[in-house]
Structure 1
């Protein structure tokens, strides 16, 4: 299991983004879907596949580029795949800005930074035949990688940040995140929370349901007052949290060792504890989540290999291998029909259940222009979130 999304203080602010219009849905049923219009560098798209280059350099999460499928790709194309594993979204952004890499497996908390910085190019999806009808609808045209009507990402997989609990202690299935947020929680002192600025969005999701007068419509579009309310809630939670997790192995150890009985998790972490007493639920308020996509460097010197790789890894068999290897819902739904093992994996991770994922707000980089459509206020950006997060734990 990889360490990922653990954003530290060295965050590149995206204050330079200028919003010209936005149709991001403010309704939870549409979650983070929509089309974002912002001023970004005008970069060309690749027009056609030419001769393959000799090599392909990829920045990836651990488990996304493995010999099991990259060796076959090299045999088919002659493109030698060179992988650089990154542990955080910040590291990925920094590495892509060197111009030394062709592709990156970007998450939503990095995508807008890369797009706005001119680090990644818009894609010609006609050159990715496997990006077709079998790609789940909930991963197409999303606000975190589709800008001004142009796609910058080829989906890989997605997952929700769910509520995990020890059913021997938490004997009734929780229906609300309140067991992890409220000071009178019966599990105070045995609660685990995520350790990253993007976790502010989890507090915002809870406030959307329990303090509607704050007017939060999208957990990644917080004005200064709304951000302050989220930070107050996080500071309140801090008093009942036993520990914060950044390393997935530490989260598993905390649950398995009994130090933690309830808190934020990923589906795969609950599965990796290998004990039936650990269960999980997507609470009634909904949750945050993550969605990863291949993004092409604007300075790639191997665009033909890169497009071939994006197409190759979008095929149901390979996309499914990546999803099973990491532990997430695949982007290509056709994988779910390949065999019983594939179906079981898809069922476990709710791969084709769009009603489930409509309750999930996928990570999106906070920017000063409010992505919920408001134009009468200025929202807070990722640097402000990072600065605020540093005050939560004291």
Structure 2
């Protein structure tokens, strides 16, 4: 199981983005109307002969022998996997020039695009990227810029509110039980340990303090960031612990240290106890979406393109989603059999109404991606510094 830790490193490249246009402001995270100056990296026009191998940086569970061996049998491309534990590590490894592909999350992908580390993709060379890819994972700001796609979707998930139903006897419909100082569960609240968690505070403020004018939780000016930090510091007083390691989060719930807080659907499932429930509160939530991205100077681009196509098929994409515990990108998987359908139902795979309330992780940058041009938004380094203050 991976740990999506965002602590530490500054995002110098993302902090220097220049916004040439403006955002559509769409709550689905669409990049329509957004134009950002990025390195002019050429797109591959046609595939050639397979090179014999492909080197991949991936989350644990994304590249397994069950499908990589089959891929090798079909293509002759040997799959060499490097498991990364954090988005920062993925960015660093891709910058080394040793890898062809990465399974990047939204908090890493924008950095890779702006840094010139990944190239735009020719989707005509990836026929499995077609009508069956769920609409909510196409054309998103974290992997699609200036009309060019830089990522092939793999899967997605929401950061939901998990709770112990034996203690929290009424189903909560709001994040208030996790944020407000007078929460009846004070001292039993668990929170995510990363600067990107600031966006969770921003989402709650969007609903409870509309005068702040927050339109996108990843586009915060200094006043809005200060308000989010104030809320986080308030929450800090009722938090039992912060988690970045999924195993530790499960232990906290099962051991009774925690009764409610931020989680993933797969973590609730792994607790293997029916008393633990989850809900997507009315304010919405943050979430994560992963995509294959191709290195600018990939040494094995033909094998890499074929890997992206192979893993986008319903069967293989579904196998990855089931192995990790997330909603697959290819909706056709959901129709393969009863087991696939049950998996898709559990993770809301094709329920776009559900995911309309989810703001997928996107690296905060100085140019406001909510369309504002009269202010400067705060960048990831500022979020990192602010998070250190929250944690004390």
Partner of 2:209: 211
Partner of 1:65: 63
Partner of 2:194: 196
1:11–1:90: 8 Å Cα contact kept in structure 2? no
> Bigger CA drift: 72-81 or 12-21?
12-21
Q: CA deviation at 1:393?
A: 1.5
Partner of 2:81: 83
> 1:6-21 maps to which residues of 2 (within 5 A)?
6-13=5-12, 14-21=14-21
Structure 2 residue 21 is matched with structure 1 residue 31:
no
Partner of 1:304: 302
Deviations 1:268-319 (A, max 9, x none): 0000000000000000000000000000000101000000000000000000
Deviations 1:80-111 (A, max 9, x none): 00000000000000000001000000000011
2:28–2:136: 8 Å Cα contact kept in structure 1? no
Partner of 2:121: 123
Q: CA deviation at 1:34?
A: 2.8
Partner of 1:237: 235
CA distance in 2, matches of 1:214, 1:118: 35
CA distance in 2, matches of 1:31, 1:184: 32
Q: CA deviation at 1:373?
A: 0.2
CA distance in 1, matches of 2:381, 2:140: 23
Q: CA deviation at 1:10?
A: 1.6
Q: CA deviation at 1:24?
A: 3.3
Long gaps (5+) in structure 1:
none
Q: CA deviation at 1:32?
A: 1.6
Q: CA deviation at 1:9?
A: 1.2
Q: CA deviation at 1:142?
A: 0.4
Q: CA deviation at 1:47?
A: 0.7
Long gaps (5+) in structure 2:
none
CA distance in 1, matches of 2:235, 2:28: 25
Aligned-partner SS, 1:7: coil
1:158 is aligned, of 132, 138, 156, to 156
Deviations 1:152-177 (A, max 9, x none): 00000000000000000000000000
Q: Which aligned runs of 4 or more in structure 1 are off by greater than 4 angstroms?
A: none
CA distance in 1, matches of 2:132, 2:150: 19
Instruction: Provide TM-score, normalisation by structure 1.
Output: 0.98
Instruction: Provide TM-score, normalisation by structure 2.
Output: 0.99
CA distance in 1, matches of 2:322, 2:85: 19
CA distance in 2, matches of 1:254, 1:246: 12
1:165–1:261: 8 Å Cα contact kept in structure 2? yes
Deviations 1:2-31 (A, max 9, x none): 22x2011123232221000123325xxx33
Across the two proteins, how many residue pairs are aligned to each other?
A: 390
CA distance in 1, matches of 2:187, 2:54: 48
> Bigger CA drift: 8-17 or 228-237?
8-17
Partner of 2:321: 323
